Amino acid sequence: MTGTDAPLLSHPDRNLALELVRATEAAAIRAVPFIGRGDKNAADGAAVDAMRKFLGTVDFDGVVVIGEGEKDNAPMLFNGEHVGTGRGPACDIAVDPIDGTSLTASGRRNAISMIAAADRGSMLDASSVFYMRKLVAGPEAHGVLDIRASIGENIRELAKKLGKDVAEIQVAVLDRPRHEELIEEIRAAGAGTRLLLDGDVAGGIDAASIGGTFDLCVGTGGSPEGVATACAIKALGGFIQTMLAPKDEAEKAKGLEAGLKFDHVYTADELVTSDNTFFVATGVTDGNLVGGVRRKGGIIRTESIVLRSHSGTTRRVVADHLASKWL
């Protein structure tokens, strides 16, 4: 349900976030044996199995609206899958047991396990169009940035608002061939780039966070990831604008049939209409957003971030787990 006049019990409550973080912790821990082993499918499979198991114990009625695939591609958490006990609030959830499977397989930084949740029916279903352009920054960007403007103009306006020289602005962008021109434009404007091998969800959250490494996160990435990022951005009071980027006319036609809008700027409130969103992420490998899983003797330590838009809170959760319980 959406809307502020709905019964209180129909909404996800504050305890849900701390339940969901158990699932991301489990997925991250189970992925550890596969870090640097070159087998991203094995890492993903282990994380999916752990996340599904723990979600099954949570008192909520969750439906995966942004998952990793369709039902026939199990063991992935598939679109439309019901998770939870079925008791408690009805939620849309977006899941990625490992955002950065290639990073995990190669032993690189910034792989996370993540879940986003919001009231049932509130997340935009953009699954028919795989990519969207994104522009993400902190709260200062409201009324300042516009995804329809050039990247150079946005960088200059943001620098002015932040009281920085343009040369101090750090822009995160996925390192992809499709971004070659964008990267050149960022550098031509005088700003510095921070190229991400993968994981623009973590990059966007970092850009919107107080004390983050990045000032701005831009580029074209997955539409599902854009919606998940919006859940976090609403909790941070940050700024996000997106525009759908169909790869061809056939995909655009599918999007139109699904009710999506093109040449339209989607804001956070359109990507997720609920004012009660959750975002939880646990580090698999070390990164700017959260630290990775570490084992010291008989203890496994995880680091997670827990965001809730209704209260506007950001929590850091460091948990020590007895390794003997995970053997």
How high is the pLDDT of residue 74?
A: 44
| 131 assigned binding-site residue | yes
**How many angstroms separate the CA atoms of 79 and 92, rounded?**
11
How high is the pLDDT of residue 109?
A: 93
Assess whether pLDDT exceeds 80 at residue 73.
Answer: no
| 101 assigned binding-site residue | yes
Q: Which residue has the tokens 């959250």?
A: 205
Within 8 A by CB and 6+ apart from 113, the residues are 24, 25, 27, 28, 31, 47, 51, 96, 97, 98, 99, 281, 282, 284
How high is the pLDDT of residue 1?
A: 37
Across the range 259-284, mean pLDDT stands at 96
Which residues are registered as beta bridge partners of 314?
A: 307
How high is the pLDDT of residue 211?
A: 87
| 139 assigned binding-site residue | no
Confidence of residue 6 (pLDDT cuts 50, 70, 90): very low
| 266 assigned binding-site residue | no
Q: How many CA atoms lie within 13 A of 181 on its CB side?
A: 3
Looking at every residue in the chain, the average pLDDT score rounds to 91
With beta carbons less than 8 A apart as the criterion, state whether 90 and 119 touch. Answer: yes
| 199 assigned binding-site residue | yes
Assess whether pLDDT exceeds 70 at residue 14.
Answer: no
Percent of the chain with pLDDT over 70: 93
Across the range 300-314, mean pLDDT stands at 95
| 177 assigned binding-site residue | yes
**How many angstroms separate the CA atoms of 171 and 252, rounded?**
29
| 263 assigned binding-site residue | no
**How many angstroms separate the CA atoms of 258 and 256, rounded?**
5
| 100 assigned binding-site residue | yes
What does the angle CA 152 – CA 240 – CA 204 come to, to the nearest 5 degrees? 85
| 225 assigned binding-site residue | yes
Rounded to two decimals, the pTM is 0.90
Within 8 A by CB and 6+ apart from 272, the residues are 118, 122, 123, 124, 227, 230, 231, 234
Confidence of residue 71 (pLDDT cuts 50, 70, 90): very low
Confidence of residue 67 (pLDDT cuts 50, 70, 90): confident
Across the range 115-136, mean pLDDT stands at 94
Q: Which residue has the tokens 């008791």?
A: 87
How high is the pLDDT of residue 3?
A: 43
| 176 assigned binding-site residue | yes
| 222 assigned binding-site residue | yes
| 178 assigned binding-site residue | yes
| 44 assigned binding-site residue | yes
Across the range 293-306, mean pLDDT stands at 96
Across the range 98-103, mean pLDDT stands at 92
